Amino acid sequence: MAFAAAITKKDVMGSHRVHMGTISQGNSDTGGAIATGLRIVENFQSTIHCTTLSVSAGEVTITTADPGGAQAGYWMAVGY
């Protein structure tokens, strides 16, 4: 199973946009890119432990330790 991420909900919180979604990776994957749908990401959270996280405009790239088995979780990005 390859690394995959999808947007499942879009909402507004005050003056910010909030996008949420799912994330999954296979047993030998060590991360990938998440297209958040935002132009700028100010905050990002994931239920999968990230060893590194980088943000470029609306795309978040995460690196995870090899989980030793497939895992899945959720992510949330706040921005504009």
Dihedral sign from CA coordinates of 10, 16, 22, 23: positive
4-79 maps to CATH 2.60.40? yes
Q: Which residues of the chain have pLDDT under 70?
A: 1, 66
Give the pTM: 0.89
Structure confidence at residue 59 (pLDDT): 92
Round to whole Å and give the CA distance between 45 and 23. Answer: 11
Q: What is the 3-state secondary structure (H, E, C) of 59-74?
A: EEEEECCCCCCCEEEE
Tell me what pLDDT residue 1 has: 65
Sequence-ordered strand ranges (E) for 1-80: 4-13, 16-25, 31-35, 41-46, 52-56, 59-63, 71-79
Domain residue extents for the chain: 4-79
